[in-house]
Structure 1
Amino acid sequence: MTAPAEVGSRLDGFFRNRLNGADPQVNGLQRIGVGRSRDNWKFELTLQRDSAEQTEPLILRTDPPGGLVETDRQVEFTVLGLLEKSDLPTPAARWIDADGTWLGRPSLIMQQCPGDCDYRVLSDPGRTTAEKRELAEKFCELLVQVHAVDWQSLGLETVLHNDAGYGAAAELAAWVRILRQDQLEPLPELDFAIDYLTRSAPRPSRTTLVHADFKPGNILLEGQDITALLDWELAHLGDPLEDLGWVTQPLRRVEHLIDGSWEADDLISHYEHVSGHTIDRASLRWWQAFSTFKTAVMQVSGLRSFLEGRSDEPFRPTRRVLTTLLDHAMEDLS
């Protein structure tokens, strides 16, 4: 883990290079635990301009030596910049050190939005069932808003273009490549799942912006109000059922559902009502299975990163992940 003193020194050098004459001062630097695949640091940047002092709270988002998934800070930075023109509540992108020349590793600096995130907010005993249901509906409506973004007019295809296409087959192929690159041992359960997923991949329902890691842990809240949707590192163009499969798969239940009050059927029905789009349940089941497969592949990558000394957490596909994935496949094959 990088020491705060080193991070502060690097930030100081970066800003003095970019903001010559503004006497930049970095204060209150603190590593925060938001985000499991990036290192995140919050701080305040104070500048002297026209004899006036200006202070802005910012977030440094930097690549760790290794983690669950490898992504591109330049792509994330560009996506955030384009999304500033949309109605989505996203942090503004401020600066980027794409190759890590100044900050040690590829990094971006973005606006620090107000609010807090809580992975388990929908099971928070401090909130009433009605409050949790209200939040769950707001999360669902935010996902509808993501999928309604006019990605063509924003120019998102210029940075998110994929020659392989924007549907199930393309996403499956991408994650199979990651698996083959990172796996250290035979994984017959995943080979079985790949065969099932390949043979049953659905056609795209439509092409939208896909967040690809939509969850309460990536949403900032002030009370019952959403202030920002974070972590756009996996964003791409694709089938909106990908996000819906992610939020309704059994492995994410505690994050997205409320026992007896907000089940998967409630979430999908609310999405249909708000978006005006009917969800094909058979295609959704495929995406739920794919989401479980993707989780397993992330854990494979995390294990390799740990064994190579690039991370300090020994992720590996758990029995629960593999059993859930096989249950999905066997249910559809039976």
Structure 2
Amino acid sequence: MRLASALEAFLHERLPAAEAVRVVAFRALPRGASNATWAVDLHIECAGAACDLACVLRLQREYGLLAPYDVLREHRVLRALDRAGVPVPRPLWAAARCEGIEAPFFLMLRVEGRSLPAFWYPAEGSELRAIAAQLAAIHALDWERAGLAFLVPEAAGRDPLACDLAGWRIRAAARGLEGHPLLVALGETLRRERPSDLRLGLLHGDPNPGNFILRGEEVAAVVDWELAALGDPRSDLGFYAALQTVFFAPPPVPGVTPLSRAYEDVTGVRLPDLAYFEALGLFKLAIVMAGVGGWGAFFSARETIERRLCELLGPRWAA
């Protein structure tokens, strides 16, 4: 395969002391709804010794679900998290391009394990508690000390809501949605109705169960960090609630899901204003839907989103 050969040549350049670098297996992975993802097995010989590495290749796409993408940013996030002791796949090599690979990419070690079905958490159980505890640990991380200050958007300062939405406004602009009445009205409402206790923490961005690799009942790795940002930790929980609303059924109690209940249980901290954060998640998902299937998907989801926003925000919101 041409891509595998180009990867071998790249690694020869990065590992000049190696006598041999071979890609012995290369296959596409279903994981990764955004950037292209492959499982890559490497055999490396150096100074009379040999090692085999099970890796994952992430190759940046130009278009797709969450475009515009930045896999080099994701690689940088993984490096910081790995050094800070967060269970993530260990990042290896990265490049903006190389001969035969014209898009940014990076390699990371592959983490074996299993994940729960995408989008759907069980009502209770040790696995759910382990994921909730790991998500809470991510939110509690000293992100500045961990070297993640580069996630602060230039124009956002330390404002949690502005930091959280900065990347989403870029995605909206890329789809021509920045002036859409739904997003304009909802954005104004989110600013006006923002809770008074917002704090700035590290967000994963998409804490659906498919992004947690389990080994036994423990979290072996948290993957897919392309949406990593800074914002109020409840934003992650609200995004998952919004996923339920758009793709399944709205949570009976606004913003409250098995994940948020487990999070409160393992942390001992009550999470107020979850309805607000579900509305914030719906702002993001309106943009995602345009990435899924263009304007048709956006308008198809709009009715569901607007109806739920009226339930969450009442007469305070109208597009």
Which residue of 2 is the match for residue 35 of structure 1?
32
Tell me the alpha carbon deviations over residues 49-100 of structure 1, each in whole angstroms, 9 at most, x when there is no partner: 2212110100000112311222322221111111112232111110001245
Please state how far the C-alpha of 1:229 moved relative to its aligned partner: 0.4
Query: Given the superposition, is the C-alpha separation of residues 55 and 185 from structure 1 closer, same or farther in structure 2, using an over 3 Å criterion?
Result: closer
The range that moved more, 191-200 or 81-90, is 191-200
- 1-side partners of 2:9 and 2:284: how far apart? 38
Query: Given the superposition, is the C-alpha separation of residues 150 and 186 from structure 1 closer, same or farther in structure 2, using an over 3 Å criterion?
Result: closer
Which residue of 2 is the match for residue 106 of structure 1?
104
Which residue of 1 is the match for residue 203 of structure 2?
210
Aligned residues: percent identity? 27
Tell me the alpha carbon deviations over residues 267-314 of structure 1, each in whole angstroms, 9 at most, x when there is no partner: 434323433433222xx222211111211112224445xxxxxxxxx9
**TM-score, structure 1 as length reference:** 0.81
Please state how far the C-alpha of 1:249 moved relative to its aligned partner: 2.6
Give the partner amino acid of 2:125. R
- 1-side partners of 2:287 and 2:113: how far apart? 31
Which residue of 2 is the match for residue 160 of structure 1?
151
Number of residue equivalences: 309
Query: Given the superposition, is the C-alpha separation of residues 45 and 121 from structure 1 closer, same or farther in structure 2, using an over 3 Å criterion?
Result: same
The range that moved more, 219-228 or 184-193, is 184-193
- 2-side partners of 1:35 and 1:230: how far apart? 9
Unpaired segments of 5 or more residues in structure 1? 124-128, 305-313
- Mapped contact 1:300–1:315 kept (Cα < 8 A): yes
- Mapped contact 1:122–1:136 kept (Cα < 8 A): no
- 2-side partners of 1:104 and 1:95: how far apart? 16
Which residue of 2 is the match for residue 328 of structure 1?
309
Please state how far the C-alpha of 1:253 moved relative to its aligned partner: 8.6
Please state how far the C-alpha of 1:16 moved relative to its aligned partner: 1.5
- The answer to whether residue 134 in structure 2 is matched with residue 142 in structure 1 is yes
Please state how far the C-alpha of 1:139 moved relative to its aligned partner: 1.6
Query: Given the superposition, is the C-alpha separation of residues 330 and 100 from structure 1 closer, same or farther in structure 2, using an over 3 Å criterion?
Result: farther
Which residue of 1 is the match for residue 218 of structure 2?
225
Structure 2 SS opposite 1:299: helix
Query: Given the superposition, is the C-alpha separation of residues 321 and 220 from structure 1 closer, same or farther in structure 2, using an over 3 Å criterion?
Result: farther
Query: Given the superposition, is the C-alpha separation of residues 330 and 265 from structure 1 closer, same or farther in structure 2, using an over 3 Å criterion?
Result: closer
Please state how far the C-alpha of 1:175 moved relative to its aligned partner: 2.5
Query: Given the superposition, is the C-alpha separation of residues 325 and 177 from structure 1 closer, same or farther in structure 2, using an over 3 Å criterion?
Result: farther
- The answer to whether residue 47 in structure 2 is matched with residue 50 in structure 1 is yes
- Mapped contact 1:166–1:237 kept (Cα < 8 A): no
**TM-score, structure 2 as length reference:** 0.84
- 1-side partners of 2:286 and 2:238: how far apart? 15
- 2-side partners of 1:267 and 1:324: how far apart? 21
- Mapped contact 1:32–1:41 kept (Cα < 8 A): yes
Which residue of 1 is the match for residue 241 of structure 2?
248
Tell me the alpha carbon deviations over residues 114-144 of structure 1, each in whole angstroms, 9 at most, x when there is no partner: 1133434857xxxxx79x6222222211111
Unpaired segments of 5 or more residues in structure 2? none
- 2-side partners of 1:115 and 1:60: how far apart? 18
